[in-house]
Structure 1
Amino acid sequence: MADLTLVIGNKNYSSWSLRPWLAMKQFGLNLEEIRIPLYTPESASKIRQYSPSGKVPVLLHGTQTVWDSLAICEYLAEEFPNLNWWPEDKAARAIAHSISAEMHSGFQNLRNNMPMNCRAKLPGKGMAIGVQKDIDRITTIWRECRQKFGSGGNMLFGKFTIADAMFAPVVLRFTIYNVQLDAVAKDYVEAILALPALQEWIKAGEAEQEIISAFEF
């Protein structure tokens, strides 16, 4: 559909890379991947070839370079507006933007103590101070979105949107660490895990050989 290249990190670990990759796959965009393993002696120089920030993910679209997960998704929503990246309803769209931004900037306790690791099964690990508070806030978001806007399907706003892509790594974290969830959150986790694109990402992550000790218990 377009000349799109996404520069990503390890699929096993890179939650930020997952977000735009999943969105692009879900909306049927053809993309090339450049995977750069993170935390190696060559990582920084390789990433700098593409990314002004020195971080992944990075989208290359013709002569345009876009970095940061949410910025990439916003850019694609402008480039391909017919794909309905955000909810059509104005009120729902405002909430979708808000929770995507909240996910982008928040939940540091969860991020720091429950790193994404597709190969791992770590039930009960990572429950440091503040993590449960993050979990409670996330599940409240999911519950309220599903109840108010989710009648058209099994995603947060019925159909898949950027908001679901933003929370997909959290779904993986909750699964990896076997976080106890209410019925609404469990159903949502199962719906996200059932996406063929996410299953493709997980299988690729599990097949990777690199080990990043910072993300391993």
Structure 2
Amino acid sequence: MLRNCARIIPASAASRCFATSSKLTNMKSINLKLIMSTFLLRVHPDVMQVDRNSMKEVDQSIKDHNENAMKTLNAYLDIASAGCNGELKADDLSTREFPLEFFIPTTKKVQRSLRKIKTAGDAEVIHIKGNMYTRISHFVKLSDKLVEASHHALMHRRTVNVAAVHWRKDTNAVLRDLFRQADLPVLSVHPNGELIPWDEETIREADAAAVFEYVYSKQFSKKNIS
């Protein structure tokens, strides 16, 4: 009844090589699964929160689907955690796509709203045995910029903080979208008001250094030519 969008993640994606872990110098480590705890409670098949006014029990097909999707989400969170905390390994980048799809019981309030505006047919919902479920979907694809920054950090430890900021900003965007679709509030305890903290100054310093290196290399090339 439900298509299985959770792809099997290769073992190499979760493996760790024996290289020494790089550590951040100006940001504290974060726990993504703790940050995602309220979302996990909403979609996990064993503890899925159900609006008792909507349905008595979640259909088994929904539980099975979400259980498979959890494997993909956990694989992504493991890799994203490594990237955000400056502990990424080369093997972690072997998987770059994580299709996430969950279904949660649609609350009575949302059901009434859909009927009122007559868009239930167009909304991201499905019907199983008379019950309505809302679809939560996000196709995560690691950007070329993120992968490039990660590879650079693996070769040059001084750029680990820059790569971590890129990971945190990208991961934050993914988590924000999942929270939005699950109708969960973003409660931040960080100065940037986001789920994940990061240091913008790190990016500004990296950009300034890149400009300096570019200008210096141009001047050096001109001197050699002359």
Common topology (TM > 0.5): no
TM-score (normalizing by structure 2): 0.29
